[in-house]
Structures are given as C-alpha cells and as structure tokens.
Amino acid sequence: MEYRRLGKSGLWVSALSLGSWITFGKQIGDNTAEDLMRIAYENGINFFDNAEIYSRGQSEIVMGNILKKMGWDRSTYLVSSKVFWGGDKPNQKGLNRKHVIEACHNALRRLQVDYLDMYFCHRYDHNTPIEETVRAMETLIQQGKILYWGTSEWSGAEIMEAYGVARSLNMTPPTMEQPQYNMFTRQAFEIDYIKPYEAGMGTTIWSPLASGLLTGKYNDGNIPEGSRLALEGFEWLKDATLREAHIEKTRQVTKIAAEIGVPMSQLALAWCLKNPNVSTVILGASKVSQLEENLKALEVVKLLTDDVMQKIEAILQNKPTRVWY
C-alpha cells in the first residue's frame, strides 16, 4: 500500500480507502461488510469512511461492531463520519452548532470509538453562518472528539471562506474536502480547488468508478441483476449515471484498458490515483472479489504513460479549462 499525506497536514492516509455508502447496513450483509473491512485492513487500507446519513445510522452501527470485533489498535486506522442529514426535524440537519455536536456524539456512540479521525460537513449549509460551524468544529477538536474537520462537495470559494473565518478566529481551518472525482466529474477537482490546494487542502475522493459505470459492467446496455443501478430506491442514481454519452466513452476507454492488459475498473481507479491532489481514493464494493480487483489499481498507475493518458483524454474530451476574464 502507498500512503499519502492528507494535504499539508501531518496525517498519513492510505492511497486507497474503503467507504460504506449504500453497501453497509443496506445492500450487503454484515458478514460481507466484515470480510471487506478485514481484507482492506490486511492490505494496508487505514481509512474507513462513513456518514450519519448512510443507511440512516445503520452503516455506522455495522462498522462500529466490526471495528470492535476486530480489535485493531486504534492508532492503526482512521474512521470518519459526516454531518448534515441526521433526521427530518429542523435541528436534526445542517451545520448549526446543535446538530454538529449532536451528530458527532451519535456517530461516536454508533461507531463505538472515542474520537473520529475525520469529520466532514457533508454539504454547505446556506442557513448557518460559517463562523458557527467553525466554532462548533473547534469545540469538538478541543474536546478531543474529532481530530481533523473537513468539507464535502463545497465550492472552492466556500472552502476558502471557512479558511478565512477559521484563521481570523485563530481556530482550526478545514483540512480536507471529499469531492466526487472520476473520469466524468472533473471540474471542481481540477479547477475550482486550486486555491484550497495552495492553502494545504487534502482530498478523499468519492465514486471513483461513477457508481460502477467505469468498471465497464454497463457497456452492453444491460443492467446486471444485483448491481447498484438495479437497486430499488436508487432510480435517481441510475438516471444520473447511465447516460449514453458516458457509456459510449466507457466502451472506448475499456479498449485502452484491454490494450495495456488490465480491467477497466483498475484503469479508472489508477487514473484517479495518478492525480497528485488525490490523497485517497475511497473504494466502494459489494463483493470481496471487487475489492480484491480494485486493490490492484495501485500497480496500474505506472502503466499510465503520457501516451496512454493522452489517448484517454482524446476519448473523454472533457478536460476542464480555466476561464480567464
């Protein structure tokens, strides 16, 4: 396993990590979740990602039980949660001080740990002053309940606003952002975050395989039974993911994967890993075999020569460019 610094912080995170969205507490059984975490850990993965909204808390419960059962030394792994969607009542959501503190307490209880290594604001809250959120995060840091706080899907300007407020209050600025980043979602990561990167921000990127599309499993136009895009209740995700233009580009990039002799999934993950602003690629898996395949992506990075990258770029035709006014 390769370890990368989380931005300019002193924290080392494995280049591949494991997330639990849709899978833990919902799509897969607890035994499979346990196998996934054990294999991940045995292969050097040190970061497990979670959120209060995942399976409405059940994902954290499943992960917490596994962490307890495994009995790994607490200093050998990182675990996260995210705050924003905790319930339907007015103060069970957003980034107000009450919910930020209560969601942390709930995550600690469900995960059965004394502190969270990373705590993310799952989205930007337009109804809470940023100073209130920064102060709440500082409280949790001072209490030792969280070690690093960060954002998820915030714009570069919103992140810099948080930096500025934290600095002006002599408090801790956000350390990391959790954005979507893959061959089809590039604008924020490659352009919008230039200033946060300069300020030292690290990234824990999500949906590196665009929910499985970039494995090539949807290339023939069918939706395999049991796959994520066939799941009941996720029709919105199917509609957002299965765009004909993206399927066609995936078909073409799959040919490049075949030329260099690797599965499409590994090529797509390696493409993310190649970007130096990626601190860790969060993997998702519903089966052990998928995780085992994906873990080999690190070996594929060296196969992505300039020539191969250019061929991929020529297919994707979506390299974001900076707009100059």
262/312 with CB nearer ligand NDP? 262
Which two three-digit tokens encode residue 47?
């970061």
Let me know: does 128 contact 157? Beta carbons within 8 Å.
no
23/46 with CB nearer ligand NDP? 23
DSSP assignment of 6-69 = STTSS-EEESEEEE-TTIIIIIS-HHHHHHHHHHHHHTT--EEE--TTGGGGHHHHHHHHHHHH
- Binding window for ligand NDP (CB under 6 A); candidates: 13-21, 62-70, 86-94, 316-324: 13-21
Alpha-carbon span 156 to 160, nearest angstrom: 6
Residue 229 Cβ vs ligand NDP, minimum distance, rounded to whole Å: 7
Give the x-and-dash track for 152-181 against ligand NDP (CB under 6 A): xx------------------------x---
67/314 with CB nearer ligand NDP? 67
User: In the window 67-86, what residues touch ligand NDP (CB under 6 A)?
Assistant: none
Q: Single out the residue of 25, 49, 125, 145 in contact with ligand NDP (rule: CB under 6 A).
A: 49
Q: Which residues are CB-neighbours of 97 under 8 A, at least 6 positions away?
A: 132, 133, 135, 136, 139
By CB under 6 A, tell whether 208 contacts ligand NDP: yes
Q: Let me know if 119 is a catalytic residue.
A: no
Q: Which residues are CB-neighbours of 177 under 8 A, at least 6 positions away?
A: 150, 151, 152, 154, 159, 193, 196, 201, 202, 203, 204
User: In the window 239-298, what residues touch ligand NDP (CB under 6 A)?
Assistant: 265, 282-286, 290, 293-294
292/314 with CB nearer ligand NDP? 292
Query: What amino acid positions are annotated as catalytic residues?
Result: 54
